[in-house]
């Protein structure tokens, strides 16, 4: 049980401030350098990319978060500071030092993230000039949100309030990501800030659970970025009874809801996307395979292109299922497209194609549901359609 | 050592005949039903899709080829006869029966393949009317090649001649496939016919070796089809000394060359493709990981889109390598794009971007080479660029 905070942002929880400036790192004159900070030190948890090529900020932030504490996050867009060798790590550390100096905290309390082009050095002169100009405020979360966007067309943020035995706490979250998005954490940037008092071990576990059911179930293009990460800061200012495994259900539910909202927003705002695709796999052999099947279907270029064209070419859904690795018995398989059954026990079911095309044309959300009838594994994945626009965006990104 | 046969086809080897007709299965008035047959029974080997959802022709052909013999292949395009349940298998068997009756051989000597839309029943009336009209001839290989095309824009065929201790034998091959193409056999249709005398066990082994180094190293879109297969027929009419492991090098080399040519033709003719991408991974920990790395890079939508835009955004190549699973030590990594080194020991190397863009714009073949400097594993994979046209083709395939 939680309440949505109208116009909530990552700085909605007590004691969090955020701000951003136009530092000139992006070629367009847009917000591109931002800080989120807490008035007091926070417990911190992070989940990082599984790509073996890690950006310099990822390497640095993994080191800084290892002790489970942090007080600020500094982020830039327009340059990923990835594949930049030793100098890249020096630059990431420089960025942490500059933010720490500005906030009068230790550099080790600062987490760093960068997003944008790979293989290009960070323009440190612009970072050095920009950081002192950032003015973090209570209402600065929206600016922070805009400053971390790259090819995103819409901001992605949300805050909720939870009442735990009469004491209220808040969870605010923000994310970016519209390309190079594929399951296996953390294929985007996401920052979550809460004023809840949370036990450190549970904070880590809760973040992993939330990420597994949300961001790790999103695929936009199958590419996993070297840059990306999710940070969760908890400053404890809400003064609730400490949250742990035994009383953590409401916190977990609210955190997962924030992450799921942000994950679906990312899928809906995938590069060139016009539709959100939700894939539900039911009665798979187990949950692991249900996840794998749902993600494979949500990521299939042929399924995505068909949905883009409002083409009920469901054979591609079944073909993607068949290569997912999940056990399938064709003669047990039921498939639904926007709640119309198109396959029953492995045989095609005739449907009104004109009606289906019309329904697909008129829906921004397409629902694909498969019932494998083999066990009790269930999972949901999200993706987006594949449009000509995706190719256009990605064929001229650095040139 | 082998010689290319000018204008060679799948019916170039002695004793093979082929032919095709317009049966009206494709919506356009094109060749769409074809037979390849041998004057005498052949030893036969096959490699089939790894998709758990298998088309009816795949199920039937796996059964027929199990005894290692076949004399004919009947193929249609325009309908895959996949996801068609029990009636689909009856139709595939019907197709084998019709071809067998026409050729006066046993139905079990007939292999069947179908390619096209999934989930639609085979129009058996058209198959029944069409098969008797096919007139297989020595020169019919080219028609056979055209009849198995779907979204292919170019025919894919090749024949070579090998001199084995004074006796000549021929290997002719044909393939189709431009979409739903991804490593893991057999993501297209390929038929190879030879008059060589080959030991049965070696025939199987040689086909697997050839497929592993050719078709299984091609990715167009990451989707693996339920339909696809490669068949190799050897009728023995060349009268050479029987080929086995100890004297099989020339046969293997020629067979692999035919398959590699067909595989590269498929990649170059990928749906919407304008360029062939060749990815060479050197000095990986071992060959398995070299293969995995090369295929992941060749299949990355972001790499493919960048190449389409002549964009030397090599960070995407490194990012794809990093998520491939292959062990990478960033500080040892060298990367070359069209023979220009862009990364050395993990650090970017400045290059003339305008020159690189110009070179990419003027080349139909783009070469990506990575040296991991970890071991002696090496592999080559092929793919194609990702264009707006790919999306257009695939967003309106059945509608």
CA distances from A12 to A6, A174, A190, A210 (A): 10, 11, 15, 19
Chain-chain contact of B322 with A221 (C-beta, under 8 angstroms): no
Listing from the earlier edge strand, what are the strands of the sheet with B340-344?
B218-219, B377-384, B276-284, B365-371, B334-337, B340-344, B347-348
Interatomic CA distance for residues A252 and A254, integer angstroms: 5
Which pLDDT belongs to residue B398?
55
Q: Please check whether residue A81 touches B, CB under 8 A.
A: no
Interface test with B, best of A226, A306, A358, A395 (most B CBs within 10 A): A395
Per DSSP, helices labelled H in chain B are 56-65, 85-103, 124-130, 141-147, 200-213, 249-268, 287-299, 301-308, 315-323, 353-361, 388-394
Per-residue pLDDT band at A183 (split at 50, 70, 90): very low
pLDDT value of position A137: 98
State yes or no: pLDDT of B358 exceeds 70. Answer: yes
Question: In 3D, which of B221, B116, B216, B230 has the Cα closest to residue A315?
Answer: B116
Q: What per-residue confidence (pLDDT) applies to B186?
A: 33
Strand partners, B75: B34, B113
Residue B392 pLDDT exceeds 80: yes
CA separation, residue B358 to residues B244, B310, B314, B338 (Å):
49, 8, 15, 11
How far apart are the C-alpha atoms of A365 and A362, rounded to whole Å? 9
Residue B380 has pLDDT above 90, yes or no: yes
pLDDT at B182 over 90: no
**pLDDT(B187) > 80:** no
User: How many Å is the Cα radius of gyration of chain A?
Assistant: 21
A contacts of B120 (beta carbons < 8 Å):
315, 348
pLDDT at B185: 32
Domain boundaries, chain A: 3-268, 276-395
Residues in chain A closer than 8 A to B394 (CB atoms): 301-302, 305-306, 309, 386
Q: Are the beta carbons of B323 and A86 separated by less than 8 Å?
A: no
Q: Are B340 and B366 in contact (CB under 8 A)?
A: no
Residues B9-22 have a mean pLDDT of: 97
Assign 3-state DSSP to chain A and report helix, strand, coil percentages, each to 5: 35, 30, 35
Residue A394: is its pLDDT beyond 80?
no
Per-residue pLDDT, B221: 57
pLDDT-wise least confident of A166-180, B66-80, B83-97, B181-195? B181-195
Mean pLDDT of B260-274: 87
Who contacts A65 (Cβ-Cβ below 8 Å, separation ≥6)? A44, A45, A46, A111, A231
At B63 the pLDDT is: 96
Average pLDDT rounded to a whole number, residues A49-75: 92
B105 touches chain A (CB under 8 A): no
The 10s digit of each residue's pLDDT in B334-345 is 999 999 999 999
When mean pLDDT is compared across A176-185, A326-335, B111-120, B217-226, the lowest value belongs to: A176-185
Chain A residues within an 8 Å CB radius of B273:
none
Calpha distance B50→B258 (Å, rounded): 22
Mean pLDDT to the nearest integer, B17-44: 95
Calpha distance A198→A171 (Å, rounded): 12
Determine the pLDDT at residue A179: 57
Of B53, B320, B395, the CB nearest to A330: B53
| pTM of structure | 0.80
Residue that is written with structure tokens 């916190």 in the block: A251
**Which region among A52-61, A174-183, B359-368 has the lowest average model confidence (pLDDT)?**
A174-183
Phi and psi of B159, rounded to 5°?
-140, 145
Domain B276-394 has CATH 3.10.20.340: yes
Residue A184 has pLDDT above 90, yes or no: no
Residue of A nearest to B358 (CA): A399
Question: Which positions 229-268 of A are in contact with B (Cβ < 8 Å)?
Answer: none
pLDDT for the residue A224 = 63
Mean pLDDT, residues B66-74 taken together? 96
- The pLDDT value given to residue B270: 78
Token pair recorded at residue B125? 């009336």
Instruction: Please give the CATH topology (third level) of the domain spanning A276-395.
Output: Ubiquitin-like (UB roll) (3.10.20)
| DSSP per-residue codes, B93-114 | HHHHHHHHHHHTS-GGGEEEEE
C-alpha B130/C-alpha B75 separation (Å) is 11
> For the segment A232-247, what is each residue's pLDDT rounded down to a tens digit?
999 999 999 999 999 9
Would you call B223 and A320 a contact, using CB atoms and an 8 Å cutoff?
Answer: yes
Q: Which helix (H) or strand (E) holds A100?
A: helix A85-103
Share of chain A above pLDDT 70, in %: 95
pLDDT digits (tens, 9 = 90+) for B197-210: 999 999 999 999 99
Strand partners, B341: B336
Residue A186, pLDDT score:
33
pLDDT, tens digit, 9 for 90 and up, residues B114-129: 998 888 899 999 999 9
Question: Helices A315-323 and A301-308 sit at what angle, rounded to 10 degrees?
Answer: 160
Strands (E) in A294-359, as ranges, are 334-337, 340-344, 347-348
pLDDT at A117: 82
pLDDT at residue B99, rounded to an integer: 98
Q: Is the predicted pLDDT of residue A182 greater than 50, yes or no?
A: no
DSSP labels, A132-145: GG---BTTTHHHHH
Domain covering B3-268 assigned CATH 3.40.50.720 in the classification: no
Phi then psi for B361, rounded to 5 degrees?
-60, -30
Region of poorest pLDDT, from A381-395, B76-90, B231-245? A381-395
CB pairs under 8 A between A and B: 236
Q: What is the SS3 string spanning B190-227?
A: EEEEECCCECHHHHHHHHHHHHHHCHHHEECCCCCCCC
Tell me what pLDDT residue A174 has: 94
The pair of three-digit structure tokens given for residue B362, joined into one six-digit string: 């003027």
**B347: exposed, middle or buried (Cβ count in 10 Å: 0-12, 13-18, 19+):** middle
What is the residue-averaged pLDDT of chain B?
91
Bigger pLDDT: B242 or A302? B242
Q: What is chain A's mean pLDDT, rounded?
A: 91
Cα separation, B149 vs B145, in Å, equals 7
Buried b or exposed e, range B218-251, using 16+ CB within 10 angstroms: bbbbbbbbbbbbbbbbbbbbbebeebbeeebebb
| Statement: residue A229 has pLDDT above 90 | no
> For residue A315, which residues of chain B lie inside 8 Å, CB to CB?
80, 82-83, 117-120
Handedness of CA B315, B317, B320, B326 (dihedral sign): negative
Q: Which of B48, B115, B285, B323 to mutate to test the interface with A (most CBs of A within 10 A)?
A: B323
Beta bridge partners of A190: A175, A230
Range in A249-253, B266-270, B296-300, B326-330 the model is least confident about? B266-270
Q: Which of A293-307, B45-59, B215-229 has the lowest mean pLDDT?
A: B215-229
Cis preceding-peptide flag for A186 (omega within 30 of 0): yes
Q: How confident is the model at residue A180 (pLDDT cuts 50, 70, 90)?
A: low
H-helix or E-strand containing B133? none
pLDDT band for A221, please (50, 70, 90 cuts). Answer: low
Dist. CA A83–CA B393, nearest whole Å: 35
CA-nearest residue to A305 within chain B is B395
Q: Is residue B193 within 8 Å of residue B36, measured between CB atoms? A: yes
Q: What is the pLDDT of residue B198?
A: 96
Q: How many angstroms separate the CA atoms of A276 and B10, rounded?
A: 45
């Amino acid at each position: 049980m939680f309440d949505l905070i109208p116009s909530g942002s990552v700085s909605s929880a007590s004691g969090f401030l955020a701000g951003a400036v136009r530092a000139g790192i992006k070629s367009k004159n847009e917000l591109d350098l931002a800080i989120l900070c807490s008035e007091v030190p926070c417990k911190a948890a992070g989940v990082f990319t599984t790509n073996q090529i890690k950006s310099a900020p990822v390497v640095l932030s993994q080191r800084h978060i290892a002790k489970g504490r942090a007080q600020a996050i500094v982020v830039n867009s327009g340059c990923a500071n990835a594949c930049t060798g030793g100098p890249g790590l020096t630059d990431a550390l420089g960025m942490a030092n500059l933010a720490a100096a500005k906030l009068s905290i230790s550099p080790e309390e600062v987490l760093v993230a960068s997003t944008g082009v790979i293989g290009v050095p960070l323009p440190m002169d612009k970072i050095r000039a920009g950081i002192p100009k950032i003015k973090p405020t209570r209402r600065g979360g929206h600016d922070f949100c805009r400053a971390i966007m790259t090819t995103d067309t819409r901001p992605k943020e949300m805050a909720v309030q939870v009442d735990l035995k009469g004491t209220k706490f808040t969870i605010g979250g923000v994310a970016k990501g519209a390309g190079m998005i594929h399951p296996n954490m953390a294929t985007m940037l996401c920052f979550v800030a809460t004023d809840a008092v949370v036990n450190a071990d549970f904070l880590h576990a809760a973040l992993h659970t939330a990420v597994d059911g949300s961001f790790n179930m999103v695929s936009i293009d199958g590419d996993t970025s070297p840059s990306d990460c999710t940070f969760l800061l908890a400053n404890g200012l809400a003064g609730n009874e400490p949250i742990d495994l035994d009383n953590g259900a409401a916190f977990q539910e609210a955190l997962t809801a924030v992450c799921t909202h942000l994950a679906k927003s990312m899928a809906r705002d995938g590069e060139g996307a016009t539709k959100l695709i939700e894939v539900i796999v039911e009665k798979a052999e187990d949950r692991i395979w249900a996840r794998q099947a749902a993600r494979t279907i949500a990521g299939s270029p042929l399924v995505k292109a068909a949905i883009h064209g409002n083409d009920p070419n469901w054979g591609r859904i079944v073909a993607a299922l068949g290569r997912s690795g999940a056990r399938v018995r064709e003669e047990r398989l039921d498939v639904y497209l926007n709640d119309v059954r198109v396959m029953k026990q492995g045989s095609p079911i005739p449907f009104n194609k004109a009606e289906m095309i019309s329904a697909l044309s008129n829906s921004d959300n397409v629902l694909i549901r498969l019932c494998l009838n083999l066990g009790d594994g269930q999972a949901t994945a999200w993706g987006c359609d594949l449009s000509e626009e995706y190719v256009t965006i990605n064929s001229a990104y650095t040139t």
